[in-house]
Amino acid sequence: MKFLSIAVFAIGMSGIVACGNNANKESSSNDTINTVDHSMVNDTNSSVAATNSPATAVVTLDSMDQKFAMKAASGGMAEVEMANMALHSSTNERVKAFASMMIRDHGKAGEELKALAPSKGLTLPTQPMPEHMKHIDMLKGKTGSAFDKVYMSHMLMDHQEDVSEFQKATTKVKDADLKAFASRTLPVIKTHLDSAKAISKMKM
């Protein structure tokens, strides 16, 4: 009887242990399912967030707007380069002060155009175009009053053309951002023209 009782007790205990192991397996299985489910939810949310992320819009300028932007960028770079030449070749303090103004103002306008270009699908020139490069070339080798006369004569003519171009752009350019740029820059160029007129009247 003693051996029978012990055998029954042992069978009962093995059954309890087996139930416990099954319960642990089920718990482990549920944890795995929950982990997979959470992972799938996170992946889904990430996909939705990526899909809903706004792309950077690129506006394509029409040919007239592109031409204005390209010419303004090229002309501005030429103004800065000629102004740097003036700082080294001129002996007139007013001419040098004018040149410093060119570097500051046209440099700022150039940076504004560069910041605007990517959203317009526009690749601006990295150096002055041939029509502006020839103006730089005509100043090479000149110094003192000879430089001042040619430089200021060109500045007077150049800014008369610039005022006309930018004035036209404020009404004809279609892109709103580019039109705003032209409107902001026009008064600055008018100031340059007034200064060029005043200096050109001086005896060089």
Residue 71: how many other CB atoms lie within 10 Å: 17
Q: Which residue shows structure tokens 């792309």?
A: 55
Task: Single out the residue in 34, 53, 72 at which a domain terminates.
Answer: 53
Q: How big is the chain by its Cα radius of gyration, in Å?
A: 38
Does some domain include residue 131?
Answer: yes
The pLDDT of residue 16 is: 39
Is the residue at 157 inside a domain? Answer: yes
Tell me, rounded to whole angstroms, the distance of Cα 128 from its chain centroid.
20
Residue 30 belongs to some domain of the structure: yes
Q: How many domains would you assign to the chain?
A: 2
Mean pLDDT of 183-198: 97
The answer to the question of residue 118 being in a domain is yes
pLDDT confidence tier of residue 56, bands split at 50, 70 and 90? low
Pair 114, 149 in one domain: yes
Element (H, E) at 152: helix 144-172
For residues 77 and 100, state if they share a domain. yes
Secondary structure (3-state) at 60:
coil
Please give the helix or strand (H or E) that residue 143 lies within, else none. Answer: none
Domain holding 118: CATH number? 1.20.1260.10
Question: Are 68 and 46 contained in the same domain?
Answer: no
Pair (105, 141) in one structural domain:
yes
Question: Is 84 within the bounds of a domain?
Answer: yes
Residues 32 and 132 in one domain: no
Domain span holding position 189: 63-200
pLDDT the model gives residue 204 = 73
Token pair listed for 99: 């040149």
Are both 121 and 194 inside the same structural domain?
yes
pLDDT digits (tens, 9 = 90+) for 82-117: 999 999 999 999 999 999 999 999 999 999 999 999
Query: Based on the domain organization, do 97 and 32 belong to the same domain?
Result: no
Query: Does 78 lie in the same domain as 45?
Result: no
Q: Give the per-residue pLDDT at 57.
A: 62
- Provide the pLDDT confidence category of residue 39 given band limits of 50, 70 and 90: very low
Residues 23 and 100 in one domain: no
- Sign of the dihedral defined by the CA atoms of residues 86, 92, 98, 104, in that order: positive
- Whether residue 58 lies inside any domain: the answer is no
Is the domain of 168 the same as that of 101? yes
Q: How confident is the model at residue 202 (pLDDT cuts 50, 70, 90)?
A: confident
- Amino acid type, 161: E
Q: Is the pLDDT of residue 40 over 60?
A: no
152: nearest Cα among 69, 72, 95, 85: 95
pLDDT digits (tens, 9 = 90+) for 124-180: 999 999 999 999 999 999 999 999 999 999 999 999 999 999 999 999 999 999 999
What per-residue confidence (pLDDT) applies to 46?
42
Q: What is the mean pLDDT of residues 174-196?
A: 97
184 shares a domain with 92: yes
Same domain for 124 and 81: yes
- Residue 176 falls inside a structural domain: yes
Q: What average pLDDT does the chain have? A: 80
